[in-house]
Every structure is written in C-alpha cells, then in structure tokens.
Structure 1
Amino acid sequence: MEPGAKVLVVDDYEPNARGMRDLLVAAGHTVRVAHNGADALRFASDEPPDLVVLDVVMPGMSGVEVCRELKTRSLTRLTPVVLVTGNHDHAYRLAGLDAGADDFIKKPLDVPEFRTRVKSLLRLKRLTDELESTEAIMTMLGQIVEARDPYTEGHCERLADYATALGAALGLPDFDLDTLNRGAALHDVGKIAVPDGVLLKPGRLDPDEMALMRQHPVIGDNLCRTVRSLERVRPIVRSHHEREDGRGYPDGLSGREIPLLAQIVGVVDVFDALTTNRPYRTAMTTQAAYDIMLADAASGWCPVKLVRMFIDLHRSTHFRSYSGRTQSDVSQPSQARA
C-alpha cells in the first residue's frame, strides 16, 4: 500500500470497522473511523481523507448516499471511495457507480484483494493530487499576471462570475461552466511573458509592442499544453481574442471556427476592460460599454445575440454591484486592451 495515507473507514458494525482499521494501520496509514453517514461527512469536512472505505448498508444515510454527497463537495469530489458490500446484486453496483464510487469490495473481506484495491486507489489519488498541484501553479501564474497591474485587481474573479452566468443562461452543461470558470482564471496567463513596459504602458502600443502583446494567447496555450487537466481550457486561452470576421488574433479564426467558450470569455473580458480603469485610459460608464460592444459586434467582432444576452443578464443581476467601483462618467475610445 501507499504509505502515510489518511483513510476514513465508515461502517456501523464495530468488528468490521476495527478489522479494516487494523489492516490499514499495519500498512502505515492514519485511520479515522465513523459509524454512521453523518459522522463520516463531518470527519471528511474536518480533515479531507485520501481514501474512503465505506460500508453500503448502514442505518440513516446509506453508503451510497454518503458517497454521492462526498462526490458533490469540492474538498472530496476527487477522493476515491470504495464501497464495501455483502450484496452482490447488480442493481447495488449500478447505484454505487451512479453515486460516483471508484471501486467495490465484497464481504467477507479477502485480505490480499483489500490491500491491492486500496493500494491502487491511493496511487490514483496521489497522481490526481500531482495534477491538481500543477494546475494550481498555473492558476497562481495567472494571479501573478493580475497582481503586476494594480488596475486589474479582481479582473479574473469578475470574468469567472460573468462567464459562468452567461454560460448558464445559454443552457451549457456543468462541465462547460467549470471550464469557463477555470478559463477565466487562466485566459491571460501568457502575459507572464510580456514585459511590464508593454503591459503597463500608459499610451498606445507601437507596432512592435502590439505584436509582442498579441503573442500572449499562444504563450498561454503552450503553458497550458503541459498540463493534461487543462486541455479543455486551452481553446479559451488561445482564442478569446479572435473575431467573427477573421480579423482577430492569434490564428485569424472566423465564424464557427471560434470556440463558443472562447467567445463567451472574450465578450466578458472586453466588458470588464471597458468598465475599469486601465493604465491607458479611465473607465467608461456601463451604458457606454454596452453601446460600444453592440456596435463592435455589428461590425464583425462577435455574435450580436451573445452580446445582447450578456447585456440583458448584466442589467438584471447582481453584476451591477461591480459597476461604478472605478468608473468615470466620461466615455472613452472603444479600444479595450483586454
């Protein structure tokens, strides 16, 4: 078994719980025991385990119900759960799989099988943790980019809020909403390679500086390419500056070639750039931003329908609380260096 793991054993029958605990402790693991579902969920929240060994039949919450709840919580959704059951009925296994169970162990325990399955699941958890750590480093790079420019404080958080709300309004599935949330945090990660003299320049960029700035989507995509778990985020990072008419960058995509999630982040990115102070101009009013975005959409930037949907959403929700924090009442030129 993988040494040093934290394992939560959940079984209402004390002899079974004690037996599994003793096997795990002998292998060098730290074990916590719960005898019902409520305690199991509380223990998992207090100190997220590396593995949960969970009896299926218990009074109160069943093991399947506990598993389902664990898999919905952000702290434990990637924690392997193995269900222990004496019932070999196919329906039980289907219910467990539907709840998110990662494996099954039959009663009475076959000790070598128990050890092997636990070892396999802990190895999977270690690999998942390594992937999460790498993704966290990438997210931190995105935060470093934001921290370099005092004008963009909170930019990625607002984009995540805007983008996921717009995605939900479009009826996108949960995995797309999760991708939008992560993509908003990483959309400008490639700016880590843009010098401060260009990124924070108070005036208009010259042609060479603009060419350098326009490389940030490619640089960001290349960074994300190294992390397999960010595969779905890459189209957002690379393509959020593309235009419907093909005049965007870096690839000159047009029309349906542009991924929808990238267009969503592109729309909300421009809105936030227009309505917050930047080194090269002061913020616009919300209405001025609406007008400019609609005009630009009509001229080939992005689908007008998408912009209208965002504007309607923005007008009708709490997003209005973002507006006015740094806005001036003076309309500015339509260029938004997002």
Structure 2
Amino acid sequence: MTSSSNRGTGVADETDTQFDLADYLATQQAQVEAALNQSITVVYPDKIYEAMRYSLMAGGKRLRPILCLATCELLGGTTEMAMPTACALEMIHTMSLIHDDLPAMDNDDYRRGKPTNHKVYGEDIAILAGDGLLAYAFEFVAAQTQQVSAERVLQVIARLGHAVGAAGLVGGQVVDLESEGKPDVSLETLNFIHRHKTGALLEASVVCGAILAGADDSNLVRLSRYAQDIGLAFQIVDDVLDITATQEELGKTAGKDLQAQKATYPSFWGIEESRRQAQALVTAAKAQVEPFGDRAKPLQAIADYITARTH
C-alpha cells in the first residue's frame, strides 16, 4: 500500500500479499460486532433497549471503531484497551443516524437497507433511543476501559464530548439545516458543515485510539491531519454516491441531497472533479502516516477504501 506504484489510484492493490484489507476489515468488523452485541442487553423497559439495539446492530461498515482500533494498535496499544471507546464511537454514530433520519431533520425512511428507527418505533422512542445511546457511550468508556490510565480515559471522554457537541457534529448539523434550499452557500460553508458533521467524529475515532496508546503531541497532530483529510474525502464520495448509486447500493434513499436542495461538492465541482479532490485528500492523508512505515498499512488501506467504495 505504501509503494509509489499504487499511491493515488484510489483502489487497494489486490496484488499486495503483505496486507489484505478485505481480510483485515472482516476480522476487525467481527470483533466490533461481537463487542457491540454484548454491550447492551434488553431489560425493563424493554422497548427502549430494543430500539437502541435495533439501530446499533443494523450493520454498517463500522469504520469509526475500526479506525480507533487500528490507530491504537499502530502506536503499540491493544484491541482490549481500545474496544470500549470503539463501541462508544459506534453508539454515538448510531445516535446521529437515528436523529438525522427523523422527519424534522433529513426525513429518511431507510437506513442500512432497513426501515429507520422512527418508522419502526415511532418518533418519540427514536429520539429517546438516540439519547440513550449517546449517554451510554460515555458511561461505557468510563466503566469498561481497562489497562489505560484514568488520565487518558478522561482525555478520551473530553475528546468525544467535543466531537459530538456544538463544536463538532451538532454544530455541523445546525449549519447544514440552515443552508438547505439556499442558492448562495459557499464552499467555505460546505467545508465547515462536513468537517464538523462528518469529520469531527472520524477525527475523534483516530485521535482517541492514539490517546489510549499514549501518543505524543507530534503523533497526535499527524494523525489528526490524516483523519481530517479522510473525513472530508469520505463526505465528498458520499455526495457523489448520492447521485450515482442506487437505493439498493446505498441502503438508504438515493438522491436525497438534490431533493432537499442541499449544496454538495458535485454541485460546486461536478462529479469527476469531486472524485479528483477526494483522491487528492486521500493521497495527503496517506502521506501523513508514511513515517510509521509498515505499521501504517491499515490506515493507508482504509484511506484508499474511502474513495474506492460504492456505498
């Protein structure tokens, strides 16, 4: 993945026998799924726990927890150290999807190929299920993290709070809602929306894994830049797929951005230039982690995967 022959192509090199991304993702995803499955049990009142589990266990790429695990291991940490935070990241991400799908927000009936939470449990329970997952995420990190100093755990909790609050995901969502239907949304505003709404939690995934492993300041800066680049690339690709992919491929309603009159990267640049911009970000992200050598192969391969994905 680090050779010059395949850098910047946007696809993982299938001839690379030293690192198999598909196998890596499958192995990590299986570990995350098992941990998530054990994280929430159904007790009274059953409905809220069932609603929380419905969306949490609905599948997905599990990219955020995998990035957390990969970064912790890159710096000498272990899966056991990072798994509670990895699960918490997926809980927070799932909360954002439940709330994003509500009629008052993006109003979608499908997520990951299944009816959205509010279509199954009603809007009231969906809101509470998101609230429950958000609160439990912080409890889970605090109560379940082992082999990590209290100081590092506290840093992770603070980083997660920053990423999900008004300085991160929530702030990005507000500007996104305010920008709908406006013809004069600037590229600067669009970047703000997605560096916060999408990028903040992706960055937290990488940085929290690094904090758990005891990263120094220089490595935190390098990994933050990597995460910021892949976060924006991820959103650019999402915007392209919203136009080019089918509902079956996406697992959610296609063409929603156009229907909502949202500013998107293809609306500024067109599809081909958007793809080029995403690839440039991925190339920059991979360069940030090159100093880590072979240990960075998972992060570099994940960066390539972001632009090569079809859903």
TM-score, with structure 2 as normaliser: 0.34
Identify the structure with the greater strand proportion: 1
Between Structure 1 and Structure 2, whose CA radius of gyration is higher? 1
Structure scoring higher RCO (CA < 8 A, sep ≥ 6) equals: 2
Identify the structure with the greater helix proportion: 2
